[in-house]
Structure 1
Amino acid sequence: MSASPVTLMVARRVASGRYHDFNRWLNEGRDLAADFPGYLGSGVLAPPNSDDEYQIIFRFSSSDTLTAWEHSASRNAWLQRGKGLYDAPHEHRATGLDAWFQSSSGTTPPRWKQAIAVWLAFFPISLLFNWVFGSALADWPMVPRVLVSTMMLTPVMVFLFIPLSTRLLAPWLEGKWSPLDILSRWRHEHRT
């Protein structure tokens, strides 16, 4: 089993009219997971308005700790209580950066695309952080200043903005879209 962190990504489509019950049940499951050894965090990506499929992410310190949680009696009881709130889920395990970038087909984009997606998530949030807190931290020595900023930014990036970035950029990351397509279309439309 792997000693590196493992991410379990679950897609669940909410049953019609069960949105509030599903959210209550989902929060109960996240609280339950938080009590298990090796739990590193979880996150939920709500679907766009035109969809009802939630992306739920659970992160554990190793495959062993994730497996212990998955096979626990309390998790199984929680899953039983959720029957009827969602359609059959799709689950996927991943480790490392690939956890954020693996598509439903099982492929991962080139590392340079992954780097751009992470940067596109990190730059605006880092800029906002420095704009909001920069003056308060300006007189601090460099090591504590960087320590505080990374302690605050890392969880926000890992559980919210990088998953959001990869979801928004999915067509480009999967090679289904390119910025050159837009340029080509624009040039074609503006030819005289």
Structure 2
Amino acid sequence: MTQTHADTATLVVRHQVHQHHEQRYETWLRQTIDTASQYPGHLGVDVVREHQAGLVNFTCVLRFDQVQHLQGWLDSDARKQLVTEAKPLLHAGDNTEVLLGNDFWFTPDNGQQPPLWKQACVTFLVILPLSLLVPLLWQPLFRAVPALGGYVASNVLITLSIVLLVVYLFMPLAMRVFDTWLTPAQKETHP
């Protein structure tokens, strides 16, 4: 059986930590990331931190190549032990959500995905400026080091730069900016 893109699985973990526990949590988080990375199918971790009203909100996104590998991490004794160690640091417990494919960007807190055309518009608005700007920014290096300016090397560097900027910086920002527009309107019901 060939693996499709939809087979990938994402674990979204949301933790609220009091600011006075932030350093201890950061140490715990590094240990957890290191442990998770040793499990089969692990594809990487993204962490977003937001300070708000005396709390630090951590959103950790762990990606695995298939649901079975993600489930192996979720069911592991190592993860259970790590969660037990973190509980005294957490304000609201261990909140987890499993998503399939690339659902993470376009799954708001209410769990309803926006229409595909809106997802396409936001993705286009993020990627188009980067696809125009990033190659220009690399040009001085390509001129200075001709080996990097070759067809394959230059495309690898440009594509890698765009992907990293989209995933780590611009798509999360775009999701906050367009949140209201992306969130489907709730239909009112009258008794």
TM-score computed with the length of structure 1 as normaliser: 0.77
Aligned with residue 161 of structure 1, among 159, 170, 175: 170
| 1:102, distance to aligned residue in structure 2 (A) | 0.9
What one-letter code is carried by the residue in structure 2 that aligns with 1:53?
N
Q: 2: distance between equivalents of 1:133 and 1:60?
A: 31
Matched residue type, 2:43 = L
Tell me which stretches of 4 or more aligned residues in structure 1 moved more than 6 Å. Answer: none
Measured in 2, the distance between the counterparts of 1:157 and 1:123 equals 11
Give how far 1:61 is off.
0.4
Offset at residue 14 of structure 1 (A)? 0.9
In structure 2, the gaps of 5 or more residues are: 186-191
Distance 1:31 1:161 in 2: 26
Q: 1:82 aligns with which of 77, 86, 94?
A: 86
In 2, are the aligned partners of 1:43 and 1:160 still within 8 Å (CA)? Answer: no
Tell me which residue corresponds to 2:183.
174
Name 1:136's counterpart in structure 2.
Answer: 141
Range with greater deviation from structure 2 (153-162 or 37-46)? 153-162
Q: What does residue 56 of structure 1 align with? A: 60
1:93-172 equivalence runs, <5 A: 93-127=98-132, 129-137=134-142, 140-172=149-181
The 1:26–1:127 alpha-carbon spacing in structure 2 relative to 1, beyond 3 Å, is farther
Measure how far apart 1:159 and its partner are: 4.1
Residue 73 of structure 1: which of 68, 72, 77 is its match? 77
Q: 1:18 to 1:120 in 2, by over 3 A?
A: farther
Deviations 1:101-128 (A, max 9, x none): 1122210011222123223333454455
Alignment RMSD (CA, Å): 2.5
| Contact 1:42-1:159 at 8 Å conserved across structures | no
Larger % of strand: which? Answer: 2
SS in 2 for 1:82: helix
SS in 1 for 2:62: strand
Alpha-carbon shift at residue 90 of structure 1 (Å): 2.5
**Residue matched to 1:36:** 39
SS at 1:97 equivalent = coil
Secondary structure of the corresponding residue to residue 121 of structure 1: helix
* Unaligned runs of at least 5 residues, structure 1: 177-192
Q: Which stretch has the larger CA shift, 134-143 or 40-49?
A: 134-143
Deviations 1:39-95 (A, max 9, x none): 111111111545632211110000011011111111111111112111223221112
Q: Which moved more, 1:127-136 or 1:33-42?
A: 127-136
What is the match of residue 17 of structure 1?
A: 20
Worse-superposed segment, 123-132 or 62-71: 123-132
Of 38-47 and 157-166, the range deviating more from structure 2: 157-166
Greater shift in the superposed pair: 94-103 or 140-149: 140-149
